[in-house]
Amino acid sequence: MKNHEYQQIDPQALVTPTPTPPPRPLPEHKPRRARRRWEVFPGKNRFCCDGRMIAARQSGVLPLTLGLILLTSGLFFIFDCPFLVKHLTSCIPAIGGVLFVFVIISLLQTSFTDPGILPRATPEEAADIEKQIDNPTGSSSSYRPPPRTKEVVINQQVVKLKYCFTCKIFRPPRTSHCSLCDNCVERFDHHCPWVGNCVGKRNYRFFYTFIISLSFLTAFIFGCVTTHLTLRSQGGNGLVFALQASPASALELVVCFFSVWSILGLSGFHTYLVATNLTTNEDIKGSWSGKSGNEDVGNPYSYNSIIKNCCSVLCGPMPPSLIDRRGFVPSDDSVQTSPVEIELPAAKNDINMVGRAVTSGRPLPRPPVITLQQPAISIQSHSTA
Amino acid sequence: MSYCHDPLNFKCQITNSYPHFHNLQELHHSASLATKVFIQRDYSDSTICKFQTKFPAELDSRIERSLFEETVKTLNCYYGEAEKIGGQSYLEGCLACATAYIIFLCMETRYEKILKKISMYIQEQNEKIYAPRGLLLTDPIERGMRVVSFANTWDVFLSVGTTLKELCTIYKL
């Protein structure tokens, strides 16, 4: 009978700590591997090297991008450089090499750097925000749904902050939620399938370096290959002979010809964005250009000086990653020993608060009741009956 | 079962465990169960990291307004210094660009150095000012730089005592 079991609690046991064996809910001898935060990250991301590198779950066409760059550059160094070194100058492979290194490093950094992901709100924060939304200052109308935007004034301009239902936060200015990665990203520019990651506050400078150096590399290879073929076809040999002598150059020519225009165009576009301190997202939506019918709107984030805008975007301080990828998740053992398992019919608000925290699925840190486990364990183990 | 008829005795068991929580680490863990007050970001100066200095009503009886404002203003100063676009940040940015950003992997950026200073400042403030008043200030970096939160640590002990008192009453121990 349950009453018998309850009566077995010896008050003496409370006063003097008895060396009883550890009870069931404390699996101390079962070694549970501590998990790192990246393993429980809620967004759609992929992690490598134990959380050191982050990318989108869909790698997009990153393998294609890498493949094309490596192939074209490889063919260039193998087939065109020897001829050009012999006939022109040995600076050509040197310049090509530097550009190639810049392209690859900036591509990898763009793809594997956290773009500025905002961590989701903790249950307490989300509850606090809900409370503020449900009780707006002023009249409480039960017919309208609670407002999910907040207005702030930035540089004498009204900016609307939207509430993100997935992350349960009011998005800071210039932040947008990427549906592919399922994360809110600060200063969200766009999700680039070519690099397989979002481009945001933290990796925009890497992305810009990538496209600028790629434009230079593509144009350089295109120019060198054209020179190579021209030199070969001199002396009455003709272009066909030159292509036959160096077929790899034909492939490089085709790849470079078709990509140089789009890459140059993209570089030009992003240079304009950097100079005006805009993001692709804002430019497309026309947030500050008055396309949406607003007059007297200007970009409140611009410093109204091209040099200052460029410097702030490209040479500004590097913000830290806000998602702690390599930190450890608090131990799950505490969930079993939490007081929430005691389902009191007259449970007060403070217990419900703890209950909500546990049922939301987040692992609890060690609760204070752990110090009372010796006397209280017997109650807990029978509490669900 | 004498201990239940004297719940105060039982509560004394809890109070005896107070010393277990005077360590800030333990307070941190237990504070997640307590009620919290959140100080939101102030976006009036664009996207730089700055927190609102408006004194929340919930902390009215717990801490002096001047201490609170000084803490938040100092934090804002630190973040302003970290995000300042000036000579040192340009130098760091240009050097990084010239080395294809590889130096970010090798050395600590200025921002990271200032974040360490902020974390030490918060720990010092907790030890000197907030813990004696039963509050715990959490570092905004742990909350995605969205909020500065003040956790009320005293409520935890009261709620645990109340819980056990109710247990005894309900199960008639």
Determine, yes or no, domain membership for A371: no
| A311 closest CB neighbour out of B32, B38, B85 | B85
User: Do A65 and A103 sit in the same domain of this protein?
Assistant: yes
Asked if pLDDT for residue A285 goes beyond 80, the answer is: yes
Q: Determine the Cα–Cα distance for residues B134 and B132; give it in Å rounded to an integer.
A: 6
Question: Are A195 and A289 in the same domain?
Answer: yes
Residue with the larger pLDDT of the pair A142 and A322: A322
The arithmetic mean of pLDDT across residues A184-195, rounded, is 92
Task: Nearest by CB to B46, from A125, A301, A317: name it.
Answer: A301
Q: Which amino acid is at A126?
A: A
Which chain B residues have a beta carbon less than 8 Å from that of A101? 100
The catalytic residues of A are 192
Q: What is the pLDDT of residue A294?
A: 53
Please check the confidence at residue A234 and state whether its pLDDT lies above 70: yes
Average pLDDT estimate for A1-9: 46
Q: How confident is the model at residue A20 (pLDDT cuts 50, 70, 90)?
A: low
Asked if A195 and A310 sit in the same domain, the reply is yes
**Do residues A201 and A233 share a domain?**
yes
pLDDT at position A124 is 82
- Segment A310-327 shows an average pLDDT of 84
pLDDT for A127-181, tens place per residue? Answer: 888 777 765 554 455 555 556 888 888 888 888 888 888 888 889 989 999 999 8
Mean pLDDT of A35-51: 79
Q: Is A17 on the interface with B (CB under 8 A)?
A: no
CB contact, 8 Å: B150 with chain A? no
Please indicate, yes or no, if residue A177 is contained in any of the structural domains.
no
| Better-predicted residue by pLDDT, A107 or A354 | A107
Interchain contact, A154 vs B36, CB within 8 Å? no
- Across B146-152, average pLDDT: 83
Position A267 scores a pLDDT of 95
Single-letter amino acid, residue A61: V
Decide if A322 is inside a domain: no
Measured between alpha carbons, how far is residue A344 from residues A283, A357, A384, B160 in Å? 56, 17, 10, 13
Same domain, A206 and A71: yes
Give CA A343 to chain center in angstroms: 40
Residue A137's domain comprises 124-171
Q: Where are the alpha helices (DSSP H) in chain B?
A: 2-5, 7-15, 24-31, 65-82, 87-98, 103-106, 110-125, 154-171
Answer whether residue A289 is part of any domain: yes
CA angle B152, B157, B161 (to 5 degrees): 145
Q: Structural domain tally of chain A? A: 2
User: How close is the nearest chain B Cα to the Cα of A365, in Å?
Assistant: 5
Same domain, A201 and A254: yes
Is A3 a member of any domain?
Answer: no
Task: Give the residue from A287, A315, A343 where a domain finishes.
Answer: A315
Mean pLDDT of A197-218: 94
Are residues A97 and A149 located together in one domain of the fold?
no
Domain layout of chain B by residue ranges: 42-171
Residues A249 and A288 in one domain: yes
Rounded Cα distance between B134 and A18, Å, is 32
pLDDT value of residue B147: 84
Question: Is A27 within a domain?
Answer: no
Which band of pLDDT confidence, cut at 50, 70 and 90, is reported for residue A214?
very high
CA of B128, closest CA in chain A: separation in Å? 23
Residue A295 has pLDDT above 70, yes or no: no
Q: pLDDT confidence of A379, banded at 50, 70, 90?
A: very low
Of A168, A172, A108, A209, give the one whose Cα is nearest residue A301: A172
User: How far apart, in whole angstroms, are the C-alpha atoms of residue A281 and residue A236?
Assistant: 53
Q: Is B32's pLDDT higher than 80?
A: no
Q: How many CB atoms lie within 10 A of CB A15?
A: 12
Which tens digit of pLDDT belongs to each residue from B51-62?
888 888 888 888
> Are A226 and A157 within one domain?
no
Residue A366 sits at the chain B interface (C-beta within 8 Å): yes
Complex ipTM value: 0.72
Among A139, A171, A203, the domain boundary falls at: A171
Query: Do A306 and A204 fall within a single domain?
Result: yes
Residue A325 lies in a domain: no
Q: What is the mean pLDDT of chain B?
A: 76
**Could you give the CA distance from residue A122 to residue B43 in angstroms, rounded to a whole number?**
21
- B173–A125 C-beta distance less than 8 A: no
Burial of A190 from C-beta contacts in 10 A (0-12 / 13-18 / 19+): middle
Closest in A102, A153, A365 to B100, CB measured: A102
| Residue A31 is assigned to a structural domain of this protein | no
HSE-CB for A231 with a 13 A CA cutoff: 16
**Is B59 at the interface with chain A, CB within 8 A?**
no
User: H/E element holding A380?
Assistant: helix A373-382
Q: Are residues A97 and A246 in the same domain?
A: yes
The answer to whether B100 contacts A106, with C-beta atoms less than 8 Å apart, is yes
